[in-house]
Amino acid sequence: MKDTPTAQVDELYSPQRMIAFGLQHVLVMAASPIAAVFLMSKALGFDTALTTELLSATFLVCGIGTLIQSFGPAGIGAKLPFVMLPGGAPIILFILIAQQTDLPTASGAVILSALLYFLIVPIFKRFLRYFPSLVIGIMLLLVAINLAQISGKLIAGTPGTANFGNTDNLLLALITIASTVLFARLLKGMCRQLAILLGLMVGALSAALMGDISLSGVGSGSLLALPSPFPFGPPKFDLIAALPLLLFTLISMVEATGQTIALNEVLGKEGEAEQQAQVPNTIRGDGLASLLGGIFGTSLIITSGENIGIIRATQVRSRYVTAVGGLFLILFGVFSPLSALISVIPASVIGATGLVVFAIVGTMGIGMLRKVDLRGHAAMYVVATALAVGLLPIVVPGIYDQLPSQLRLLLSNGVAMGALTAAVLNYLFIHVGQRSPKTAPLQHS
């Protein structure tokens, strides 16, 4: 029984393996909190001291949130191997609210949104049956494409800038991806499971040999960084100003549903009811982590889709591994030199590692869609229309720029729009009249 995927979620490894696997999770995803804080700092004009404090706070809250999801105390957290990260869309919404009002109001909006998670869960869980494999597969595919686009920009830079397509960055990305693939192919046992981490380390070492890494600032500054609550002052609560984040909370619940079901799929749980059982706990975990995010000056902290890709690639399914990853995140938050050391890894190396992981998430989405006979009239239209709606803002960035700001923010989230479109069409085509999409024959799966 111990060797089954379902049992492995509670498996304890040796201390050496726990540390190595936990570090692998964190390093692959470390770019997210760093990028979120730097984006806030640049957009809102924070000084160096405040930026450093917020980076520390973000790592700390992500670590605590990861522990919450891994252990799930009192039904808050899924007891699944999740790693928590700041969401990209919530960070942008936080910035917009702060620019339109002020920073205390933006923090208040995060706190209100976090509380909404807890209020909505009893209602939301009644709708989980409208998110079958057909809907979740579409969502995972869109997540992979969206995240791959972000990773591509980390590698190539921003189009139109002088450094776009820099050959050094492209070479580092190629070295990182090739190393990861070679390690996955040639190594055995634990070393194979660490292929992603080893590939990232080869990329970072290559960058150092090429002179693209500087450690001059790693040892500067104080050793300890203890973030303070409410760095912008007492929060202000304005329901109208908070509306964009409150609406995103509903979208985030849909994403948490998809990620929980997808992770349970990797863990070997069969049957949609069993896969959906932990969704409310996941959402409550997101709510508590986001509440801490609002208190310490960042935006919503949510479960990460890239984490699922790492688990699928490495076959390391233990929630105790992600708990160790959470402890690493807390250490990065408390000890300044550690977070500074992580931040010097070139974006192209992080982007290349992420590109592999995100593509694996896409293959999981394809795998879930293969469970449905897409030759059927209903399933075909659900998938085609949802992909069309979801892909449009991803492949044509800025297409909705002429629309009002609130509508633009909603429609520009391709993952959310694709998932919501799939859920609505799944209801209209399949649940109305109680028609069910036929499961694909065994030879097609």
For 21-47, how does the pLDDT look when each residue is reduced to its tens digit (9 = 90+)?
998 888 877 777 887 887 788 778 888
Q: What is the DSSP string of 135-197?
A: HHHHHHHHHHHHHHHHHHHHHH--TTSTTTT-HHHHHHHHHHHHHHHHHHHH--HHHHHTHHH
Least confident of 112-121, 207-216, 278-287: 207-216
What is the pLDDT at residue 388? 95
Question: Confidence band (pLDDT; 50, 70, 90) for 444?
Answer: very low
Give the pLDDT mean for 124-145: 83
Number of domains composing the chain: 1
Q: Bridge partners of 302?
A: 85
Q: Bridge partners of 301?
A: 86
Q: Answer whether residue 4 is part of any domain.
A: no
Q: How far apart are CA 242 and CA 223, in angstroms?
A: 36
What is the pLDDT at residue 223? 74
What is the pLDDT at residue 442? 39
Q: Answer whether residue 377 is part of any domain.
A: no
352-376 tens-digit pLDDT: 888 888 788 888 888 888 888 888 8
Q: Which residue has the higher pLDDT, 440 or 165?
A: 165
Q: Which residue has the higher pLDDT, 106 or 39?
A: 106
Q: Bridge partners of 335?
A: 224
Q: Answer whether residue 96 is part of any domain.
A: yes
Q: Answer whether residue 299 is part of any domain.
A: yes
Which residues, including other chains, have CB under 8 Å from residue 378's CB and lie 6 or more apart? 429, 430, 435, 437
What is the pLDDT at residue 443? 40
321-338 tens-digit pLDDT: 999 999 999 998 888 777
Q: How far apart are CA 192 and CA 184, in angstroms?
A: 5
403-438 tens-digit pLDDT: 887 677 678 878 878 888 998 898 888 777 555 555
183-194 tens-digit pLDDT: 989 988 788 888
What is the pLDDT at residue 113? 94
Q: How far apart are CA 339 and CA 218, in angstroms?
A: 9
Q: What separation in angstroms does the CA of 374 have from each of 60, 182, 388?
A: 44, 35, 16
Q: Answer whether residue 385 is part of any domain.
A: no
388-402 tens-digit pLDDT: 999 998 888 889 888
Q: Answer whether residue 158 is part of any domain.
A: no
Domain residues for 54? 15-133+217-351
73-96 tens-digit pLDDT: 999 999 999 999 987 778 878 887
Q: Which residue has the higher pLDDT, 248 or 174?
A: 174
Q: Answer whether residue 139 is part of any domain.
A: no
- Over pLDDT 90: what percentage of the chain? 32
Question: Confidence band (pLDDT; 50, 70, 90) for 383?
Answer: very high
* Nearest to 133, CA basis, from 261, 34, 277, 2: 261
Q: Answer whether residue 9 is part of any domain.
A: no
Q: Which residue has the higher pLDDT, 436 or 101?
A: 101
Contact between 120 and 250 (Cβ < 8 Å): yes
Mean pLDDT, the chain, integer: 85
What is the pLDDT at residue 119? 93
104 three-class SS: helix
Least confident of 91-95, 223-227, 378-382: 223-227
Contact between 194 and 24 (Cβ < 8 Å): yes
